[in-house]
A and B are shown apart, each in its own frame.
Chain A
């Protein structure tokens, strides 16, 4: 990206006890981009966010915001809006007073304060609830108040740390959509942390997948989902994750053949692949039940999810999960065919995706 608004380079964090939480993060974020830091507990995503906010001081590296080095600035001098989980509201103040609070603290004139607060209350759809106390609101509405309180200051960057973590599942999706719609209208640069890949897919312009203090891949939701750089990303993104089959690629006169660790599984590949040990990866929606399909086994679980099912098949190469439109009886035999255009081959040693294109 040519014009990066928030630039993070060589960022590291070592805690006094020697824990290396962040081990060198480089990231260039354009103005108005919504970036999600995604990874399991302990991957360094929250520490990275807190260093951008100024709540942690970087051990090494540099953070630039709109061309200014902010690495060592205190939080209030950085002009960032931080959204915590919604419990950070003042219970004794009304919704309106909660939202007005940051402006009162910075001494904004009365008339301007009223105008800005009114505008934000309107934008987030809290007009009818403005005089209530936070305790009288449902979780989703409280979260709107927290968001409004960050918005009213007009910060240059929003930093959000698992803001939806404590909401019920259905409210969480509703809020995701609300945040996405806000973002479409206002396009404020946002750094958002979550461990929930579904939230990341729904919200992000680009996802940054992190593990053990490193960035594994940066890309649009479609890129990280369809074109994962390595085994970790392939497994972490997607619910359920990708299926992995262990085996060996053998050359053939035309194309090559994937032979499973259990040789009863043989999958002709219509793309060229280097010979040797390999892990074949395929997402559940790229498998289909088809007589004569190369992956066979017994149905051990058929998970109903309303619009579709996840059918678990025990094969000679372990459990394989297929996304299926119709019901399969537990105990029945299933033969599965693959959509090879969407298959991946990983190097079992390094985890790298040999079909990664980027």
Chain B
């Protein structure tokens, strides 16, 4: 990160008994797309609202462009929020909807400047032909483009996107995902993009912040989060199909599965007797023979590849298999795990 635009230090937000955010540290570069990835209820929206100034943190500091943001009103922070529910004025034309933020009290832009900005944004979003159309006569994808357009006309200092693609058809989501990344690069403003979709997180983010129950679990590039997840919980949040997690116990100098399959010899680096091994589905190969057979329970065609769900000594695992490899339910296979690319964590009892 070349230059920091936004810095959160130990930000917490409590709603009564509920800790929506707990000690969140976050830094955003001045030309960076940071994705916040987490499940429903992780605190993602609260985080955005706190940055925007719509919520006040219970404790902690927020610095924006070198200034104490907590001393600034939402308007002074000059951020644009885009939500998953695009709230356009239905009776207005697209143009009028997009002009609206430019006509806000306190802004004194010339008519020609307003026109120019709206047309610039419309061209970027490929909605120039829709400018005179009423908002109610738009498709979902068009509405979301207008909502994004309304955010960019202001040329805010920071974009905050709250699952903006969630309510769209899968096909459209895929197209807009690519467009949003290019659009942000073109504008060059920093963006925080919140999502529960791991594919969006991996493909869009310069870096990812993984949030769970109001806490940051890990921050890193998509490659780091995917390849070196800091915990089984992070590992499960990225990757599709999901990572295979095997609980291992030490038996006679060897880590074995619950069902008794030997996986790897004891490693001096790990004194614990219980470990969790994480193996990505693409790091399991089926071999022609071996000591430990498994049974294929389900075969899924994903299009570009196949997923085999198999039972291996009581463990239910997923392997990503190239298409064309013959696979059928009930077949016996001999899985080989690529341990060099696996992750291993101490198996700590869950904290109460």
Contacts and interface: CB of A to CB of B under 8 A. Distances in A.
Interface string B270-287: 000000000011100000
Interface string A191-202: 000011110011
A13 interface: no
A283 B304 CA distance: 9
B63 interface: no
* Contact-residue size bin, chain A (C-beta under 8 Å from the other chain): 35 or more
Interface string A224-265: 010000000000111111000000000000000000000000
Interface string B160-198: 000000000111001000100110000000000000111
Given A169-B196, A307-B320, A225 B301 contact: yes
B342 to A, nearest CB: 14
Given A41-B140, A307-B239, A323-B304, A139 B178 contact: no
Nearest to A169: B197
Contact of A306 (B236, B240, B297, B329): B240
A222 B181 CA distance: 32
Interface in A281-339: 283-285, 300-301, 303-307, 310, 312, 323
B171 A40 contact: yes
Interface in B295-352: 297-298, 300-305, 309, 320, 329
B303 A237 contact: yes
Interface stretch (A49-57, A94-102, A152-160, A177-185): A177-185
B251 interface: no
Contacts of B196: 168-170
A221 interface: yes
A175 interface: no
A212 interface: no
Contacts of B304: 238, 283-285, 323
A312 B174 CA distance: 13
A181 B297 contact: yes
A307 B280 contact: yes
A202 B300 contact: yes
Best-buried of A300, A305, A312 by chain B (most CB within 10 Å):
A305
B169 A306 contact: no
A301 B199 contact: no
Nearest to A237: B303
Contacts, number: 103
A301 B181 contact: yes
Contacts of A170: 39, 196, 198, 236-237, 240, 242
Nearest to B236: A170
B3 interface: no
A303 B181 CA distance: 10
Contacts of A307: 239, 280-282, 320
A218 interface: no
B94 interface: no
A240 B174 contact: yes
B239 A306 contact: yes
A340 B280 CA distance: 31
B282 to A, nearest CB: 4
A222 to B, nearest CB: 6
A173 interface: yes
A180 B222 CA distance: 31
A239 B237 CA distance: 20
- Which of B197, B202, B303, B305: most chain A Cβ within 10 A? B303
Task: Enumerate the 5 nearest inter-chain pairs by beta-carbon distance, A residue then B residue, closest first.
Answer: A303-B203, A285-B304, A307-B282, A168-B196, A196-B170
Interface of B: 39-40, 139-140, 169-171, 174, 178, 181-182, 196-199, 202-203, 222-223, 226, 236-242, 280-282, 297-298, 300-305, 309, 320, 329
Interface of A: 40-41, 139, 168-170, 173-174, 177, 180-181, 184, 195-198, 201-202, 221-222, 225, 236-241, 283-285, 300-301, 303-307, 310, 312, 323
Given A202-B302, A301-B182, A306-B222, 14 more contacts: A139-B40, A170-B237, A173-B242, A180-B298, A181-B298, A196-B170, A222-B301, A225-B301, A225-B303, A239-B170, A239-B171, A301-B178, A306-B202, A306-B240
17 contacts: A169-B197, A170-B242, A177-B298, A180-B298, A180-B300, A181-B298, A195-B170, A196-B170, A198-B170, A201-B300, A238-B304, A239-B171, A239-B303, A285-B305, A304-B223, A304-B226, A307-B239
